Structure formats: C-alpha cells, structure tokens
Structure 1
Amino acid sequence: MTKVLVVDDSALMRRTLGQLLQGAGMAVETARNGREAVERLVECEPDVVTLDVNMPDMDGLTSLSLMMQVRPTPVVMVSSLTEQGALATLEAMALGAVDCVAKPGGTISLNLEQVAHELIAKVCAAAGARVGRAARSCRERTSSARSAQTRQRSEALGAHARAPAAKVHTLAPQSHKGLPEGLVVIGVSTGGPRTLEDVLPQLPAHFPWPVLLAQHMPANFTGVLARRMDAMCPLNVVEVDRPMRVQAGTVYVARGGSDMVVAPLGAELCVRPTPESGTYPWHPSVSRLMESALQHMDATRLVGVLLTGMGDDGAKPMADLRRKGGRTIAESADTAVVFGMPHELIAQGGASAVLPCQQVAAQLRDWLLADRLQGA
C-alpha cells in the first residue's frame, strides 16, 4: 500500500486531500507545516509527499530542501494557480519535486474533486520515481550551492517576470522565407522542469533548428516555465499563446490547458495553440504535436526527443518517425525520474539513441552539425 504524507497548513485541505487519497487505497499521514513535515518524514517514512508552498513556521521550499537532504522522497507540489504559486512550484521542481497539481480554487480549494483523477495519477507515478538516483546523476551539487542558487534564481526570476521579455521581442528575422531546415520536438512530463535544465541551456544560440516543447503542465504554469528557461538559455524560449512562425534560435513551449500543433502559414510553418482533444489523454499532447510535425515536414528533417514522464504520450508517433527515416532520442533509465514515456519509445523500437539527460543536447548538436557538413 502506498503511504502518502500530506503537508498543508489548512486542516480542511489536509482532510480533503487525505480522503481523496484514502479513497484510492492509499495510507495517509499528515503534517501542518514544513517543520513538522521534515519530522514526520523521518518518523513515518512515506513513499510520496504532497506539499503546499505557503505555510507558516517553515515554507514549502525550505522544507523541501531539508527533505532532500534528510531523506530524498518523491514530492508532488499542490499549489495555487497564481503566478506566484507557479513560480514557487517551478523552483520546488528544480529543488527535487517530481510533479505538481494545481488547486482549482486557490489556497483553500473546496473543489479538489475536479483534480482528483490527476492528483491520484501523479501520486501513483511519483511513488515509483527514482528521486535520489536522478538527483545525484542530474545535479551533483552541494546543498549550500543549491540554496545560494535558489535565492539568486528567485530574485532574478521575480525581476524577469515583471520585466518585458526582451529576447522575445527582438528576434532576428530568418534570412529566407519558407520551411525551416528541420524541427526538434521534445516531449516531457513528470520530473520534466528539472530535466529540461540539463538539456535546453546546453543548446547554443546559433542552434539551427526550431525546438518545439510539450511539457505536461497546468494552465498558468507553462508561461512561468518559458520565462524561467528563457532566463537560463542562450536560445529564446517563448510560450505559444497565439500562432507563431517557427524560426531557428527559439524554443516554443506549448501552453498549458491546450495542445500545440504545427500548421502552414502561407509558404512557411507556424505553431499555434488549439483546444485540448479528448482523443489524447495528456496535455499539452506530445503525440498530437509530433503527428502534426510529420504532416508538414519530411521525417528526415525531424528529430523527436522523449524525456522523463509517466504514460506513453509521444511514443507511437516518434516510433513512426524513426521508421520513416527520422531520428529519435529516449532518455535512459539512469536519469529518468519516471521511466514511462521513454521506456515506451524504446519498447516500440523507436529510439535511435538512448541517453542520460545530460548527453541529449550534445547528441542534437552532433546530428545537426553532421547534417550541415554533409550538405556543404
């Protein structure tokens, strides 16, 4: 039986979350604040922790940092949909939390039943996450360095969220009209924001192909994710909230609460948000994005990357891509927080390469450099 430690300063939230998880056959322990959570973590040794951000005595981020030092445990953040809540949640995921669930009604949410299925699915997936091993392999940093970076990033991201995104508005136009040289499609879910920090910042500003990213994440969170990654990356990183012409030097992040598809725009290509389709169980959908890319680009000019995440989103169309002459990368079990999506791609014979997350960017650079040398 999966044991879950529910951490929230609201007695109502603790009771409601506990009832939902107990109804799914899980054992539940509770804590009222971050300090008590660290104590209870050692006492009851839960399989998963659900953690609020804003709490008295000790907040969620401080508590999470201590948890990862004392007893690394999969953590699912349960956060409000505000921008402040999204910023804190993204920072928590950089610190080691594996996923997040948005409270539909704010800090004290009386309608958690709306996200009950999502909550239970993410807690179940988190129970199988390899937090300790993934954390060591992806982030060999001391706790003091992590704390300093957390403070610096929080200050920088707060200023970045208030300031206009200069890189987004000063993109140089492409030197020619028409289709891009190619497209890189990246799909990621549970554990994704942290893993993306090992991939996207390693792509240089002159990276020759546009990058399309579908990260399973709630609405209001993907804009914060895009700004966070934009502050870290040589590439421009933008959330797709309207049709945008694709161009090199840019990462296009699918907006939460919708799917993103590739579509023609005159003689060029664009990406645009589109309403979620019930045909696809996860959103923003990796499969739908990959399928639309295959409709408008030759498979040999596409690269698919499937990173950590539960389920099989993106596996089938990326396997199809490889069969049609395209190239694909599956994250290896060594670094995947949840080895679901990449495992499915490998199982379907669809992985051209199986790599730890730290080697994905180098492989992309090598492939595209080889393409250019062959075309020279």
Structure 2
Amino acid sequence: MMLQAPCRVLVVDDSAVVRQVLSEILAADPGIEVVGTAADPLLAREKIKRLNPDVLTLDVEMPRMDGLAFLENLMRLHPMPVVMVSSLTERGADTTLQALALGAVDFVAKPKLDIARGLESYAAEIRSKVKDAARSRVRASVSRPRQVSEQPLITPRPGFRTTDKLIALGASAGGTEALRTVLEAMPADAPAIVMAQHLPASFSSAFAERLDRHSAMSVREASDGEAILPGHAYLPAGGRHLRVIRDGARWRCRIDDSAPVNLHKPAVDVLFQSVARSAGANAIGAILTGMGEDGARGLLEMKQAGAATLAQDETSSVVWGMPGSAVRLGAVDDVLPLERIAERLLLLARS
C-alpha cells in the first residue's frame, strides 16, 4: 500500500514568533511538511514559485503588501489552497470574511495575547484545517470588488409568501460564500431560514451583517425566544447553538451555551435535530460545503421526520466532507450544484 505524500506548506507571517510556532505545530504532524516560511507577500511570491507548496498559511496584516491584495492576485494568477491566520477582533473578522470571499479555504484564529501558547492550545485544529485545505477544490477567482455592496445584489421577486415552511442550512469550510450564494437568490418574502455556520464568537455579527447586505431577506443574529418569521434568516449569536422550538402555531429561536457538539459551537447537528423535532415535514434541509461530518446525522433525522433534504455536490463544494457524509448516511434526497440549491429550496417550499 502506497503511503500518501505529506502536504507541503509555506507559512507566511510577518511575526517571527508566529512563523516559528506555526512551523513547529505543523511539522509535528507526519502528514505535513513545512517547506518554508516568508515574512511578507513579496518574499512569499518568490518562494511559491520556487517551492511549489500545496497549501499557504497567510496572515492578513503584513508589511510591503496588504494580505488581501496579495490573496486576490494569488487566486487570480496562481490559485491554491490558502488558510488565513486572523486576529479575533472586529476588524479581523471583517477582513477574514473578505479573504474567504476572495477564495481562501478556511482560517485559524490568532489570539491577541500570548500568541505562542494560544496557537498551541488548538494545534490539532490547525493541523486538521491545513490537511483538509490540501484536499480542497480551489478555483481561479473572478474580478470582484473587495468591499460588499450596501444594496442587495438581486431584485426581490414578488408573489412568494408562506408561513408553513422552514428552511435549515448548515455549512463549514467554504460555507460563508456558499450561504451568501443561496441567500442572494432568495426573494424578500421567502420562507424563514435558520442557519449554522462554523465560526468563532467574534465573527458572527460581521458575518450576519455581510449576508444582510447581499440578500433581499432580512438576515440577523438570532436572539433567544424571538419568533421565526418569513422573509427573515437567522444565525446563532456568538459561538452558541441555535435550536428551533415550537410555540403553539409558530417557531421560536432558542439560543444556548451548552457544550460543543462534533467539536463545534454552533453545531449543524444541533440545529437540524431541533428542526426535525419542531418542524418535521414542514421543513427543508440543505447541507453545504464543509469539513467533517457535522450535520449528517441531523439531516438524516430531518429526512426521517418527513422533511425534504438536499446536499451541495462535490464539484461545487470547497470541501465535500459534510455533504459527502450526509450522502453516505442516506440522509439526502437530492444532490445539487450550489447555484441550483436556492431554486430547489423555493420549489420545495411551494409544494
């Protein structure tokens, strides 16, 4: 049996401490080879040509060239898997979301204090994300503005109104853009949507605001106990689980701070399982691009409760971990490319 060659990684960061710590963390895994480091994008550009790495870890805030400008050029001219190293700040969240829109596969958080110990505390996650990135699908990016529009990118389509359907979406790596694509195609009066996307607490507000700017629907962080209404899409607030509960003839959001599930909080399984119990056959579930298996069992519970279920196909997924797991589990009615999922969700909601 042939052994798989380790993925080759180039670490790009202006901090010598971060370069050293990340290199040591990654090199401790036999499935990873750190082929080099670079202190800024200009050096990184030369080393990419010379070393031909499989994956790049990239800090955003660096000297000599803005990290986003470098990423944009890289994904246009030499697309490759990139894992961002981002600070857990409001500015860091917004920049990271822009990086994901430009084509970065995933990101790891860089603590503000005691960086070395902070990075080492989730070394396993860093190594896992880098290895998963090496297996991801990366495409050359098209030219697009780095700042999102203040207006929805679509004209709301009139005439769609329903109060008896609920759409549940789950995603991880690649999901910030996949969710944007789905919500962009939804009319202003679409059925209510509840979502779970693997993000740290400090990123959820910026992500909700970004989705809201791109959608005719009203996208917001869910608050505990609020009614779930048509024309609205709800994300869990700040690294917490979102559940759907039944309250008479309506659904409400339940936000809780219980333990991670499948190592995640929010977890897609938590959301999907609650939708299966509270909405049953009135729900539609879709699992989008992401690493791991989170959401597969929950989607199966939704299907067993009578809900229609969809999965993003492998070709359009950045990482076909979560959708692939759901398909193998028998949880999926239909597998579709990302650009067709919104249309199918609306068709199912009308039936």
TM-score by length of 1: 0.84
Question: C-alpha separation between the residues in 1 aligned to 2:290 and 2:211?
Answer: 19
Contact map agreement 2:10 2:55 (CA 8 A) in 1: yes
Please state if 1:336 is matched with 2:317.
yes
Contact 1:34 1:62 in 2 (8 A): no
In the alignment, the residues of structure 2 paired with residue 243 and residue 114 of structure 1 have an alpha-carbon distance, to the nearest angstrom, of 34
Does residue 18 (structure 1) correspond to residue 36 (structure 2)? The answer is no
- The match for 2:202 among 220, 226, 229 is 220
Which residue number corresponds to residue 177 of structure 2? 194
Whole-angstrom distance in 2 between the partners of 1:107 and 1:54:
18
Q: What one-letter code is carried by the residue in structure 2 that aligns with 1:354?
A: V
Whole-Å Cα distance in 2 between the matches of residues 230 and 354 of structure 1? 27
Which secondary structure does the structure 2 equivalent of 1:5 belong to?
strand
Corresponding letter in the other structure for 1:111 = G
1:215 deviates by 0.4
Deviations 1:7-50 (A, max 9, x none): 10000110011111011222112111122222222211111111
Q: Distance in 2 between matches of 1:266 and 1:232?
A: 33
1:27 counterpart residue number = 33
The 3-state SS of whatever aligns with 2:181 is coil
Number of the residue aligned with 1:170: none
Relative to 1, partners in 2 of residues 1:305 and 1:127: Cα closer, same or farther, differing over 3 Å?
same
Q: C-alpha distance in 1, partners of 2:223/2:205?
A: 9
Unaligned runs of 5+ in 2: 1-5, 152-160
The answer to whether structure 1 residue 348 and structure 2 residue 329 are counterparts is yes
Are 1:182 and 2:172 an aligned pair? no
Which residue identity does 1:100 align to in structure 2?
Answer: F
- Report the equivalent of 1:54: 61
Distance 1:240 1:131 in 2: 32
- What are the equivalent positions in structure 2 for 1:202-351 lying under 5 Å apart? 202-207=185-190, 209-265=191-247, 268-297=250-279, 299-351=280-332
Q: Of 134, 137, 148, which aligns to 1:130?
A: 137
Q: 1:235 to 1:106 in 2, by over 3 A?
A: farther
> Which is helix-richer, 1 or 2?
1
Q: Gaps spanning 5+ residues in structure 1: where?
A: 161-174, 372-376
- Determine the C-alpha separation between the residues in 2 that align with 1:113 and 1:106: 13
* % identity of equivalent residues: 38
Report the CA distance between 1:190 and its aligned residue: 0.6
Alpha-carbon contact 1:104-1:115 (below 8 Å) kept: no
Runs of 4+ in 1 over 4 A off after TM superposition: 106-110
1:113 aligns with 2:120: yes
Which of 9, 16, 37 is the aligned partner of 2:14? 9
CA distance in 1, matches of 2:17, 2:343: 48
Tell me the amino acid that sits aligned with residue 296 of structure 2: A
Indicate how the Cα distance of structure 1 residues 97 and 231 shifts in structure 2: closer, same or farther if over 3 A, else same: same
Alignment partners' CA distance in 2, 1:235 and 1:333? 27
TM-score, normalising length from structure 2? 0.90
RMSD: 2.1
Q: What is the rounded CA distance, in whole Å, between the counterparts of 2:335 and 2:249 in structure 1?
A: 35
Whole-Å separation in 2 of the counterparts to 1:306 and 1:46: 31
| Matching residue of 2:95 | 88
- Which amino acid in 1 is paired with 2:109? A
For these two proteins, the number of residue pairs brought into alignment is 335
Q: Which residue matches 1:167?
A: none
